[in-house]
Every structure is written in C-alpha cells, then in structure tokens.
A and B are shown apart, each in its own frame.
Chain A
C-alpha cells in the first residue's frame, strides 16, 4: 500500500532491541498526550496515553515518558518486533478540543 510518510525521520532498529521515539510538543497548556501507530493504508491506532499530572506510564511493552519542563514526550518500545514497523505520531490535547498531531517518525525493524 501507499506509504503513510515518505519523508519522515526514520528510526531503524534490530529486532529484539529497544526503541525510543521522541516528540516535542508545542502547547504548554496541553494536559493529555497520546501516542498513535499508523500502518500503511490504515487509520492511526491508539498505543498509550498519559495525562499531564503524570511523568511516566507503562503498558504492554511500551512506556511513555513526559517531561513538561522541556515539553518533551517519548515512547519506548521494549523488544521491538517486525510488527512494530509503522509511523508513530504523538498528539497533544487541551481540554475538550481535538488532537494536535506531531509530524511523525517512521520505525523500521530489521529482522
């Protein structure tokens, strides 16, 4: 299928390694953050979220870290698998408004 992002920054990792994807957000008033995974030809898929009153949240094989001081968000994927290959977007939200998405990072997992 057609690629989601042809000119995105790319992170290439070996299968089994840990991956860290970084994101800088823009609005200091944002109080809710989400990481989405998007595969070619599909809509964004929810991975994990975190609210601004937290610094860290863990899911299954994924961890999100939030540093409000420098407005930085990161997604850590443990034991990266080929199925993790996709474009990853961070998104921020303020109140009841819609999400503002970052520009995305392509993750390529080498077998």
Chain B
C-alpha cells in the first residue's frame, strides 16, 4: 500500500513570497490533515478535511494560509505572503473514517521542510 505522498520535500523562499505544498493521501482515506511542525516541537494541526469539506481550521492563520481539497482526494496548502516564523516542516496525514465515529490511526507523509529567509 502506497503511503502519503508530499511534494516538494524542501523549499526555500524569501519572506513575503508565496509557496504551495501538495499532498496525496492514502487511497480510501476520507480524512486529511495538515500539520505544522516547528523544530523541537510536536506537530500542530492547521486544518482537517473530511472528503472535500473542512472539519476544523481553527488554528489556520487565515490571513496568509489557505488550503483546499476540491475533489476530496489530494490537497494543497498555500502560504501568501510568507513570514520568517513560517519556517517549519509541513506534514500531511490521512486516516480512514468510520461512519460510527471510531477513530483510526493517522498516517503521515515525509513532510515539506520550508525555510523562509
């Protein structure tokens, strides 16, 4: 079974520039997550999708971050304009969803390491 795919793996941009990350979840996983992981910390949720709908985006800085999952499969996360404090690893994860609400483990991609200079 193929894992969660992310691209690019690394990105270096200057502040105020824009950047986009792409994620393709595991086939059949309806739930997709974007996390931000700052060096030395655990991942922090940015946004959660169920199919093509947003479940939770309460921690997404909406003035500069946006995400979409138009067809309920792959997803893009965009930052515009980037700030120095956005330097982090951006992780995408997916999980199977049960109609009964049972939670299943999340599988993570390798992440995109963003450096803002």
Complex CA–CA separation, A100 to B93 (angstroms):
13
Assess the B4–A43 pair: CB atoms within 8 A: yes
Nearest A-chain residue to B108, judged by Cβ = A43
Contacts of B13-72 to chain A: CB distance below 8 A: 31, 33, 35, 39-45, 48, 50, 55-56
Closest to A100 in B: B45
Chain B residues with CB under 8 Å of A44's CB are 43, 91, 108
With A43-B4, A43-B108, A43-B109 in contact, is A104–B103 under 8 Å at CB?
no
Contacts of A3 in B (CB 8 A): 39
Contact call B107/A46, Cβ cutoff below 8 A: yes
**Min CB gap B21→A, angstroms:** 13
**Known A-B contacts A7-B40, A98-B48, A101-B42; A43 and B103 likewise in contact (beta carbons under 8 Å):** no
How would residues 25 to 50 of chain A score, 1 for a CB under 8 Å from any chain B CB and 0 otherwise?
Answer: 00000011010100001111110010
Residue numbers in A under 8 Å from B39 (CB-CB)? 2-6
- Report if A93 contacts B (CB, 8 A): yes
User: In the complex the two chains form, is B41's CB within 8 Å of A96's CB?
Assistant: no
Query: How many chain B residues touch A (Cβ–Cβ < 8 Å)?
Result: 28
Given A32-B103, A98-B48, A103 contacting B4 (CB threshold 8 A) = no
A111 within 8 A of B: no
A-B contact pairs, 28 of them (CB 8 A): A2-B39, A2-B113, A5-B41, A6-B39, A6-B40, A8-B40, A31-B103, A32-B103, A42-B111, A43-B4, A43-B91, A43-B93, A43-B109, A43-B111, A44-B43, A44-B91, A45-B108, A46-B107, A89-B42, A93-B103, A95-B103, A96-B31, A96-B50, A97-B48, A97-B56, A99-B43, A103-B42, A104-B41
Residues of chain A whose beta carbon lies under 8 Å from any beta carbon of chain B: 2-8, 31-32, 34, 36, 41-46, 49, 89, 91, 93, 95-104
Other A-B contacts than A8-B40, A43-B111, A46-B107, 10 sampled, CB-CB below 8 A, are A6-B40, A32-B103, A41-B110, A44-B43, A96-B97, A96-B103, A97-B56, A99-B45, A101-B42, A103-B41
